[in-house]
Structure 1
Amino acid sequence: MTGDIGADLGRRVVAAVAAAFEVDITIDEAVVRPSQRDGVDYQINTAMALAKRLRRPSREVAEQILDHLDLGSVAANVEVAGPGFLNVALNDAWLSEHTAALAADPRFGYRPEGAPRRVVVDYSSPNMAKEMHVGHLRSTIIGDAIVRMHTFAGDEVVRQNHLGDWGTPFGMLVEHLVDEGLHETEFSISDLNVFYQQARTKFDADQDFADRARARVVALQAGDPDTLALWERLLTESKHHIEAVYDLLGVQLTPADYQGESAYQPILDDVADELTRRGLAHMSDGALCVFLEGFTGREDKPLPLIVRKRDGGYGYDATDLATIRHRAQNLKGDRLIYVVGSPQSTHFAMIFAAARKAEWVSPATETDHVAFGSVLGEDGKILRTRAGATLKLTDLLHEGVQRAAAIVADRTDLSEAERAEIAQAVGIGAIKYADLSTDRIKDYVFDWDRMLAMDGNTAVYLQYAIARIRSILRRADHTPPLGASVTLTEPAERRLALELARFPEVMDTALQYLEAHRLANYLFDLATAFSSFYEQCPVLKSQDEVRASRLALATHTAAVLESGLDLLGIETPQRL
């Protein structure tokens, strides 16, 4: 028996169908689902679809499957119900042993199929010389959760932070600094925000400045020492800023993961030449373009990837093509993941299609665009400051910590250091969990009151559940080892054990679809099941074996909750 009960039941159903009908089905076609009905733990719905295929009554098909279904000691009872469902009630003794075995496993029963993979994850990817804003939140924390989950699965993960550090914006900014005599002064990231806005205004209004800015880009590309030196100063200040943001957010990105657009500039000519040699790139209206079947724009006109522009320069299409070639051929990724907003869906579908046609990406390599929606204010528009300005990410994060600090300010039983630790974990955790618990493709409304609530599906609710279990274990003066035996006699104990047993399945689907909300919502379900267990099954007042068993269930629950929050990049304070 593997850790995933549903998958194991599915494999047994596949074998039963083959034996009964000499028909091959997949585990997905076995249609095994957890059930909330009294006396039923899993429902097997294989017969419904299979009956149509066999042209036989579905109940008769279900009875034949049951006759050939070998569940050993797993089930206490299996019966045909309704038009052809198989209702499975697990054996209590077996479930008790299975629960202890899951707890003893460092991955709580999760066993990824196949060999470990090399996974390349592109995420965060801010533009340099600007402060990170709230729009960078989702890519950064969704990507971090994906990295953590793949690492937990045993995969080798290569983090890539594709920094926007090249092109016209830097020509504008460098030329503006020289124009204003600011190139020899000290400046901060906040200064750069102002300088960029001033440069943008001049670029749009002053043709002479625009020409000089474009010439500055050419000088940068040619390696002009003065231009390069100022560009590097801009990058250094920008990197100090993003590193401070990453430290505050608690994400795993490091300077070793930075790979700016500038890194690909030396190979863009080669990329263009290769696409031309392969017959994929053609001249169109003076530009070198790749046209792909199935991609059209307005009036159904073919939509191009512009490899080289009319003026001979390269844009982000070319850079992204060079990037995917590098990740497939040099980094040798088996799975290439791009965590970028949903407006870029067509762009990345075209990049992936072009890379496959160029044979840079093999048929066995997965390419995934992890699209996501926007963070909205209460007015349903993109979240901004009250004055309508772009909301800086650092301001948002600091406000979260300050709001959490206010919640624990009157806790005299905590030291100042403990209150600071709690404020950091709760404030940042609230922001991250509110995002990650939402289906990533959807927009969501940012609401401080909701995300800092002690009840409901929030980070602090989960953090409190862990803190409460730690308190129970301290008062018991005993923490059972993970894997200690359990005995399931009460319904609430059984429900908690079944919830713990769902972890492998949840991890499998979360990684398959790259959807962290599946894990987040499971953790909420688990914490809710523990709350019911704690209310209905006295722990500290129980005696001997019952007490030991319930402490073991509590220890197992805390371990899964803490591990799950860690996979989401959320800290758990020791006390709350």
Structure 2
Amino acid sequence: MNIRKLLSAKVQAAMAAVGIPPACAAQVVPSKKPGFGDYQANGAMGAAKAMKTNPRELAQAIVGQLSQVRALEDIAEKVEIAGPGFINIHLAPAWLGQQAGQVLAAARLGIDAQQPQTVIVDYSSPNLAKEMHVGHLRSTIIGDAQARILEFLGHRVIRQNHVGDWGTQFGMLIAELEEHLGSGEAADFALQDLETFYRQAKQHFDSDPDFADRARDYVVKLQAGDTDILALWQQFREVSLHHSEAIYRRLNVTLARDHVCGESAYNADLPVLLEDLQQRGLVIEDQGAQVMFLPELADKEGNPCPVIMQKRGGGYLYATTDMAAMRHRVTTLKADRILYFIDARQSLHMQQVFAAARRAGYVGEQVSLEHHAFGTMMGEDGTPFKTRSGDTVKLAGLLAEAEQRAAALLSGKASELTPAEQAEVSRKVGIGAVKYADLSKTRTHDYIFSWDAMLSMDGNTAPYLQYAYTRVKSIFRNAGVDPASLAGDIVVSAPAETALVLKLLQFSEAVEQVAREAYPHILCTYLYEVASLYMRFYEACPILKEGVDEKTRASRLRLCDLVAQTLNTGLDLLGIETMERM
């Protein structure tokens, strides 16, 4: 059920019937102010401008047509014209109740599957030379929420974890690993602290010329496919991926080993790609390097933007690998849409690669290339979030602290939970708080990391929404009622019921908007509004109190069930877990 689409179709048909050109849209949007209806159709103003006529008279003609064909019969209790030509639509409470009942009975809360596309979602992509840190958090959880939402809407989603598992630093790391293995140390023990291991290797490389020469030699052998060196590289890669997978499980992120398609996956294709570009004259030699020049991204003086495809020494760059990845995703995976969740500092690089891939013909105009950039997580001092000593904050430590802080928060509250259940709730609350604090902010903005704010039980936070869900579920426990056993209509009469039902019926609008625009904060805001309206409904509309008749009680319990399902589904789409008790 998408009320906005339904109303748009009906108003658009009325506009066509009174002679308005098809290019003029109905512009149906939810009303922002009480008293101005539930939805507004604002298309009369734009149409009047295009047709050089009076907008209010045109709005009157549209409303007359809607009335004549009874397009909104039973749907709206009132349609009126306001101001210069706004059409205010007041929905009928009986119709709202009927729709809420249908949504409750339908699969997926009544959201229709969209025309399916093959969508590639490129996210997380840690460098396997180091442990995952807070710099990987935003890409990982924003990308995962988007993948979940697109799948929910019926798209074929292919997750791609483009890990950094190739390049010159791996010669150094393999040489260091070889020395550890030579002394009898197991690979998983040597690499249990990737950050320390990387520092040791770098210090060794800088201080020991023989080690540095061996490392450089290993880079050449690795790229040439030397069996022994590849075996060492594979050990390093395996242990590194195991570290990442532990973080994904803890974060409740859907990335798995099958989704890993790192830089190494395209290594064999790089010379093939370069030769293709050379044969078609799309790259030229410039100061020993192979360069593609892009007039699409020319500077103010008209000079085309250079993108290096191969360095003077023969090495390839990120741009070459990204081009190969795009070609694979379009030709082999048959992508209709490719979404990249990479921070805003890479915006120029992504523009260059997108333009280069289209110029080379690897990506046609029918394929949507989208870089969904995001800002930086900041400390409360307004600088990038780091430890007190200035080091990068590791994700494993951050998530452990989140669980500990959540346990401390919940320990002071009365609970009937067992210690094991309390630990599980603390995990869900702590991890959920970290994820929601990020997802609820506009993706493109920097945001302040604050433990107190994200773990608050009040306001737009995960703990507040998780608690709202448990409150709804507690009503059914107190009533001794299984929600699935309830039947009958949802009767909408009180203003608090009307406001809550209308918001619940807008779930599909929120989900579909996030699918289009990749701004998960829209869904967060929506769920917070549902929870807030539910609290008002709970105070204004008694459910289990004496004197409430059976029909009203059943109707309000069914409405509670729809609230619980909406909160649970919405939070799950964000990758945040709920619990029955808290």
Q: Counterpart of 2:107 in 1: which secondary structure?
A: coil
The correspondence of residues 478-493 of structure 1 with structure 2, limited to 5 A, is 478-481=481-484, 484-493=488-497
Q: Which amino acid aligns with 2:91?
A: L
Contact 1:430 / 1:452 at 8 angstroms: preserved in 2?
yes
Matched with 1:130 is: 130
2:525 alignment partner in structure 1: 521
Deviations 1:32-57 (A, max 9, x none): 33343136211221122222111112
Question: How far is the alpha carbon of 1:204 from its aligned partner?
Answer: 5.3
User: How much does 1:390 deviate?
Assistant: 0.9
Report the CA distance between 1:484 and its aligned residue.
Answer: 4.8
Match of 2:2 in 1: 4
Aligned pairs for 1:243-282 within 5 A: 243-282=245-284
Equivalents in 2 of 1:153, 1:221: separation in Å? 41
Query: Is 1:47 aligned to residue 44 of structure 2?
Result: yes
Match of 1:61 in 2: 58
1:110–1:505: 8 Å Cα contact kept in structure 2? no
Q: CA deviation at 1:351?
A: 1.6
- How far residue 58 of structure 1 moved from its aligned partner, in angstroms, is 1.6
User: Relative to structure 1, is the Cα distance of residues 192 and 98 closer, same or farther in structure 2, using a 3 angstrom cutoff?
Assistant: closer
Q: Do the aligned partners of residues 154 and 180 (structure 1) sit closer, same or farther apart at CA in structure 2, a change above 3 Å counting?
A: closer
The alignment partner of 1:343 has SS state of helix
Matched, 1:291 2:293: yes
- 8 Å contact 2:191–2:197 — kept in the other structure? no
Change (3 A) 1:412 1:556: closer
SS of residue in 2 equivalent to 1:294: helix
Report the equivalent of 2:426: 423
Match of residue 397 from structure 2: 395
Deviation string, structure 1 residues 84-130 (Cα, Å, up to 9, x no partner) = 111111112111111111222222232354x2111111111111131
Alpha-carbon distance in 2 for matches of 1:99, 1:309? 61
Q: Which residue of 1 aligns with 2:88?
A: 87
Give me the CA root mean square deviation.
Answer: 2.0
Which residue matches 1:337? 339
Deviation at 1:341, TM superposition (A): 0.7
Which residue in 2 is equivalent to 1:214? Answer: 216
What corresponds to 2:514 in structure 1? 510
Provide the residue aligned with 2:550 in structure 1.
Answer: 544
Between 16-25 and 139-148, report the one with greater CA deviation.
16-25
Structure 1 161/471 Cα, relative in aligned 2: closer, same or farther at 3 Å?
A: same
Q: Distance in 2 between matches of 1:127 and 1:298?
A: 35
How many Å separate the matches in 2 of 1:348 and 1:277?
24
What's the secondary structure of 2:312's corresponding residue? coil
CA displacement, residues 177-199 of structure 1 (integer Å, 9 cap, x when unaligned): 45677675223444432232233
Query: Aligned partners of 1:319, 1:493: CA distance in 2, in Å?
Result: 55
The alpha-carbon deviation at position 313 of structure 1 amounts to 1.5
Which residue identity is paired with 1:90?
L
CA distance in 2 between counterparts of 1:417 and 1:176 reads 42
- The 5 Å alignment of 1:92-491 reads 92-113=93-114, 115-178=115-178, 184-186=184-186, 187-203=189-205, 210-296=212-298, 301-410=303-412, 411-481=414-484, 484-491=488-495
* TM-score relative to the length of structure 1: 0.95
Distance in 1, matches of 2:240 and 2:544, equals 54
Aligned-residue offset at 1:294 = 3.0
Q: How far 1:277 sits from its partner (Å)?
A: 2.6
Q: Per-residue displacement from partner, 1:114-148 (whole Å, max 9, x unpaired)? A: x2111111111111131110101111111110110
What is the CA distance between 1:228 and its match in structure 2? 1.9
Structure 1 residue 303, shift from structure 2 partner: 2.7
Aligned to 2:78: 77
Residue by residue over 1:447-493, the C-alpha shift from the partner in whole angstroms, topping out at 9 and shown as x without a partner, is: 00000000100001100011000000111112333885200110000
Name the SS of the counterpart of 1:336 in structure 2: strand
Letter in 2 for 1:568: L
Shift of 1:556: 0.2
- Superimposed CA distance per residue, residues 200-258 of structure 1 (whole angstroms, 9 cap, x where no aligned partner): 34545666654443222101112223322221221121111111111111111111111
3-state DSSP of counterpart to 2:483: coil
Q: In structure 2, what is the Cα distance between the partners aligned to 1:234 and 1:566?
A: 34
- 1:500 is aligned, of 492, 496, 504, to 504
Give 3-state SS (helix, strand or coil) of 1:21's partner: coil
SS in 2 for 1:108: helix
Distance 1:483 1:217 in 2: 68
Which sections of structure 2, spanning at least 5 residues, go unmatched? none
Cα distance in 1 for residues equivalent to 2:322 and 2:183? 31
Give the 3 Å change call, closer, same or farther, for CA 452–191 of structure 1 in structure 2. Answer: closer
Task: Name stretches of at least 5 consecutive residues in structure 1 with no aligned partner.
Answer: none
CA deviation after TM superposition for structure 1 residue 305, in Å: 2.1
User: Which has the larger displacement, 14-23 or 499-508?
Assistant: 14-23
Residue 215 of structure 1 aligns with an amino acid whose one-letter code is D
Confirm or deny: 8 A CA contact 1:161 1:259 kept in the other structure: yes
The structure-2 alpha-carbon separation of the partners of 1:327 and 1:184, relative to structure 1 and needing over 3 Å to count, comes to: farther
Query: Could you tell me which residue of structure 2 aligns to residue 569 of structure 1?
Result: 575
In structure 2, distance between residues paired with 1:415 and 1:35: 46
**8 Å Cα contact 1:124/1:143 also seen in 2:** yes
One-letter identity of the residue aligned with 1:16: A
- Counterpart Cα distance in 2 of 1:103 and 1:358: 50
CA contact 2:24–2:47 (8 Å) conserved in 1: no
User: In the comparison of the two structures, how many residue pairs are matched?
Assistant: 572
Q: Distance in 2 between matches of 1:298 and 1:213?
A: 43
2:561 maps to 1:555? yes
For residues 303 and 345 of structure 1, the distance between their equivalents in structure 2, rounded to whole angstroms, comes to 14
Matches of 1:275 and 1:300, distance apart in 2: 23
Whether the 8 Å contact between 1:102 and 1:483 is mirrored in structure 2 is no
Please say which of residues 555-564 and 170-179 is displaced more in the overlay.
Answer: 170-179
Is residue 145–residue 516 contact of structure 1 (8 Å, CA) maintained in 2? yes
Contact 1:125 1:163 in 2 (8 A): yes
The 1:287–1:60 alpha-carbon spacing in structure 2 relative to 1, beyond 3 Å, is: same
The 1-side partners of 2:24 and 2:285 are apart by: 47
> Contact 2:120–2:159 at 8 Å: present in 1 too?
yes
Q: Which amino acid is 2:492 matched to?
A: L
**8 Å CA contact retained: 2:180, 2:190:** no
Change (3 A) 1:392 1:183: farther
- Cα distance, 1:268 vs structure 2: 0.7
Judging changes above 3 Å, is the alpha-carbon distance between structure 1 residues 495 and 479 closer, same or farther for their aligned structure 2 residues?
farther
